[in-house]
Structure 1
Amino acid sequence: MIKIRFIFILVSTLGCLLGNSQNAIPSWQPASYKIVGSNYQTFTTTQYAHVFSGSKHNVVRLAPELKGLTGIKLPYKTDNPLKLKFNEPVKVIVGVFKDENSNIKANKNAQLVLQNGLTISGLSFVDVYAMPYSKGTHVINTSGLCTVLGVIKANETLNFRNAECPDGNLWNPTFIVEGFSDEKPLFEIIGGQNSPVVDEGMPGTEGIQGGFEGGRVVKVGDRYHMFPTERAGEVGVEAYYDRVKTKIGHWTSTDAINWKRESTILQASGTYAITEDDNPMNDRRAAIWSYMPVFNEVANKWYGYYLAYTVHKEIEPNHSFGRIWRCESIVDGIEGIGGPYKDIGIIIEPGLNSKPWEGRQGVASFFPYKVSENEWLGFYSGAYPFKTWDDYPKKSGKGWFVGLAKSNSLEGPWKRLDATINPITSMHPFFVENPIVSQLPDGTYIAVFDGGPEGWGHHLPNMMAYSLSKDGLKWSEARYLPIETKVDKWWDIMRTPLCLLPEGNDIYTIVYAAIDLKRRFHPMGMVKVKLNKEALAERLQKL
């Protein structure tokens, strides 16, 4: 888990629009136009807009004046002129990258109207120019690297200002946002709750100071069962302790909206370490996270896989040397999901078989899934990697990675795969957290996971993500789900999806944890998505 000790809140100013933030500066009024002699597609200039064909660059910040204009999706770095037809006098709005050559800068009629007017992932600062044109058909020289963001009416008043949008190179590597790229979206976001489904003050949240984080939701019959990490903490103790003294709760619902807390499955000790290394003198169950229930049909029992940490008060990351435990339901059958559970033992832990990429935090999560009659694979993770073992135990870098282990049964033993597979960087080169695997109707494996925050010094997509696999071994590049395009964004930082549950008619339920930085309590949300089988077939051809 990402360390959250000091929270830095990035406030959107009047200069640069973030997400669904409201802003006093009105949008410019668009004018209609027609593209002549080419088949370029258009896009709506808004957050996540995909501005170039054949690339992954997308808008992550924009000045409010630009929002809602109709841009033109040019090829990345084209030398082909653009011909446009106007029915009235207009101004063409073009974004020009400061560290790239573009003929727009040399155009004497081009007026600089917005310095740092928008941010496009993986590219430098963007200045916005307005170029006047009369009624009729005109050829616009767009050679070099620039983006046509829209066309506005000629009488629009344009006042120069610095919109203060940041450097797009901070968002590197670039990433694919579902529904905003050249490909068909695999999932359509069809709605969900516009506010948290489990929030502070609701029944069952008593004694939970800091809200929730990852875990898993499963459905048994017509009832949902949620096993979140409860950031319990203590009254009167600093917020950081919420993620040290944790619980695993069991909640149920008939609609994934109204939840009832049933019991506590596990309770962490909340005891800080007394040494800085991975030492048995430390309490190795100081914090407990990421409970993953899996039904074992052979044993006719629920198995629970969960993470137990050593917690150091001073060394980053404070959650260190994770160990994955397995427990079993005492009650047989699928109805035994509510427990009680008994601990069986540790299945994977730091040791001689660890690799430096697992870092100080690894093993930091685990999720098993079946790939054949006698073979299981399991995602396990690490974070704050060591460059070499000489850096152990304190000198760690940054990165949140996953790898695969294999076993002939859910009981284990689990063996890490070798360096030809691990770590898996095809999903994202340095951030994948808490993947949960299921299968789509055609048997394709899908992993949903935390795609990384925008905040705490990071510039990650700030969306939940998914990856596909034909065999459970090789995984595709992540696609990120911008659910705030269909539900009200009540969070600042998106965190962990706890499920992708089929509901029939290709509709799926996702329950997720997210953070409102203005509050100590981290709520849970819910959203519905619909699978596009045609898009899935096209995607599989490229895997």
Structure 2
Amino acid sequence: MKAKLAEPLFDVSYVHQAPIVTEGSPGTEGNMFGFEGGFALKISGTYHLFTTEMAGLPIWTKTRLAYWRSRDLLHWERVGTLLESSGDFTGSDTHACLWSPMPIWEETQNRWVLTYVCYRSKPNTKEAWYRNYDGRIALAASETLGKDGMGGPYKELDIIMKPGAESADWEGLMGVDSFFPYMTDDGWKAWYGSSIEVNGLAAAPALSGPWERISYEAPVSRHTENPVVTKLQDGTYVAFFDGCGHLQKFGYMVSEDGLNWSEPIVIDLDGHPGKWWGLSRTPLGLIEEGEGEYTLLFTAYNRNFYDIPGIWSAGTDDVFDGYYASIGFIRLKDIRI
């Protein structure tokens, strides 16, 4: 599964020059630091967004998984909270922080299911970053059957991946820090991640598992986080990722079979006149608009927190005063069409 070089698939055709959900927008009450991670999709003309809200203190510990929707991409309604973390900062609770809600329509069950990351959390030490550690992947199901049950309520059913004896040597303190399942001709696959900024692949006979890691020898990609997969109409798989501290840009990888992936292709918008953000974070998946056009929602901070001295060992959350992660979008054009 050695990564190969790939030609770019997309040109950036449009950059919306302002966030579409930001601090002070209706529905952001009680959301202290904004948004990060999740997935967006479009059904019958309506846009749906599942995302993490960094609701309170401690930052990156007290979180909510939320559901938003919009008819036009510009005006958004917060439908509700799906799940909320405990915010426990002692390291004792496996659900102290919740991240990366990924909705999947499960046809055989006639209901929506949700995967998400659960972490323990406690104060950092000089040696290690414990804000989000010992990550594991939970599976929840909507208790409302049918497509209209997207908004839940959701009930957690099981933990389908966790750190332990089955972990690869390249997995780190954060445990499993991301998970995105997708169907291939050869059954279920998933990108899963761990610190620091590495991702591998897992496989399972069903979404509920059992999930088996298949990237033991080495990660499939580096300097990437939170890959989310879209299968294009021609069968090409595209995984958009957050480039984190190394790249500080988002990009994508390409695959013909969902198993063998290309090297990362970075989208560089630093010099674009429509750039409104200081640090881009998580792309939220491609949304097909027709005629080779796609919408890509993403989260981004107004300022670059990597500029904070000693960011990963900061002893107080006060250093994040004035930082807020909003939601924006760009449009991409498939250059092969």
Partner of 1:229: 52
Which residues in structure 2 correspond to 1:426-437 (within 5 Å)?
430-437=222-229
Report if aligned partners of 1:256, 1:511 keep a CA contact under 8 Å in 2: no
Partner of 1:117: none
Partner of 1:323: 136
The change in CA–CA distance for 1:506 and 1:513 in structure 2 (over 3 A counts) is same
Determine if the alignment matches structure 1 residue 208 to structure 2 residue 41.
no
Secondary structure of 1:336 counterpart: helix
Which residues in structure 2 correspond to 1:410-429 (within 5 Å)?
410-420=207-217, 422-425=218-221
Question: What amino acid sits opposite 2:66 in the alignment?
Answer: G
Partner of 2:310: none
Partner of 1:531: 334
Report if aligned partners of 2:40, 2:50 keep a CA contact under 8 Å in 1: yes
Secondary structure of 1:264 counterpart: strand
Partner of 2:17: 194
Determine if the alignment matches structure 1 residue 405 to structure 2 residue 202.
yes
Which residues in structure 2 correspond to 1:265-344 (within 5 Å)?
265-274=82-91, 282-315=92-125, 316-318=128-130, 319-344=132-157
Higher strand share: 2
Report if aligned partners of 1:216, 1:292 keep a CA contact under 8 Å in 2: yes
Determine if the alignment matches structure 1 residue 443 to structure 2 residue 235.
yes
Report if aligned partners of 1:191, 1:487 keep a CA contact under 8 Å in 2: no
Report if aligned partners of 2:8, 2:265 keep a CA contact under 8 Å in 1: no
Question: What amino acid sits opposite 1:520 in the alignment?
Answer: Y
Q: CA deviation at 1:309?
A: 0.3
Distance in 2 between the 1:289 and 1:207 partners?
A: 17
- Higher relative CO (Cα under 8 Å, sequence separation at least 6) belongs to 2
Partner of 2:313: none
Q: Deviations over 1:226-268 (max 9, x none)?
A: 111100005xxxxxx1311000111001122211101000100
Q: Deviations over 1:50-85 (max 9, x none)?
A: xxxxxxxxxxxxxxxxxxxxxxxxxxxxxxxxxxxx
Q: CA deviation at 1:485?
A: 5.0
Determine if the alignment matches structure 1 residue 507 to structure 2 residue 303.
no
Partner of 1:70: none
Distance in 2 between the 1:486 and 1:186 partners?
A: 19
Distance in 2 between the 1:520 and 1:206 partners?
A: 16
Question: What amino acid sits opposite 1:480 in the alignment?
Answer: V
Deviating runs (4+, > 4 A) in structure 1? 484-487
Partner of 1:380: 192
Q: Which residue of the other structure, out of 50, 65, 72, is the alignment partner of 1:248?
A: 65
Q: CA deviation at 1:440?
A: 1.4
Which residues in structure 2 correspond to 1:30-429 (within 5 Å)?
185-234=8-57, 241-274=58-91, 282-315=92-125, 316-318=128-130, 319-372=132-185, 375-383=187-195, 399-420=196-217, 422-425=218-221
Q: CA deviation at 1:486?
A: 4.8
Q: Deviations over 1:25-50 (max 9, x none)?
A: xxxxxxxxxxxxxxxxxxxxxxxxxx
Question: What amino acid sits opposite 1:254 in the alignment?
Answer: R
Q: Which residue of the other structure, out of 304, 323, 328, is the alignment partner of 1:520?
A: 323
> Based on CA coordinates, which of the two structures has the bigger radius of gyration?
1
Q: CA deviation at 1:413?
A: 1.0
What residue ranges of structure 2 are gaps of 5+ in the alignment?
305-321
Partner of 1:488: 274
Report if aligned partners of 1:257, 1:526 keep a CA contact under 8 Å in 2: no
Q: Deviations over 1:199-220 (max 9, x none)?
A: 1011000000001111111112
Give the TM-score normalised by structure 1.
0.56
Distance in 2 between the 1:466 and 1:252 partners?
A: 25
Report if aligned partners of 1:328, 1:344 keep a CA contact under 8 Å in 2: yes
Distance in 2 between the 1:306 and 1:419 partners?
A: 22
Query: Number of aligned pairs?
Result: 313
| Percent pairwise identity | 38
Distance in 2 between the 1:418 and 1:437 partners?
A: 18
Report if aligned partners of 2:137, 2:161 keep a CA contact under 8 Å in 1: yes
Report if aligned partners of 1:189, 1:486 keep a CA contact under 8 Å in 2: no
Distance in 2 between the 1:266 and 1:298 partners?
A: 24
Report if aligned partners of 2:200, 2:215 keep a CA contact under 8 Å in 1: no
Secondary structure of 1:356 counterpart: coil
Q: CA deviation at 1:494?
A: 1.1
Distance in 2 between the 1:418 and 1:449 partners?
A: 18
Report if aligned partners of 1:208, 1:232 keep a CA contact under 8 Å in 2: yes
Question: What amino acid sits opposite 2:87 in the alignment?
Answer: G
Distance in 2 between the 1:332 and 1:521 partners?
A: 35
Q: CA deviation at 1:482?
A: 2.1
Report if aligned partners of 1:194, 1:489 keep a CA contact under 8 Å in 2: yes
Partner of 1:497: 283
Q: CA RMSD in A?
A: 1.7
Distance in 2 between the 1:419 and 1:347 partners?
A: 18
Which residues in structure 2 correspond to 1:17-28 (within 5 Å)?
none
Q: Deviations over 1:471-518 (max 9, x none)?
A: 111110111112455552111111110111101011001110111227
Report if aligned partners of 2:118, 2:138 keep a CA contact under 8 Å in 1: yes
Give the TM-score normalised by structure 2.
0.89
Report if aligned partners of 2:239, 2:253 keep a CA contact under 8 Å in 1: yes
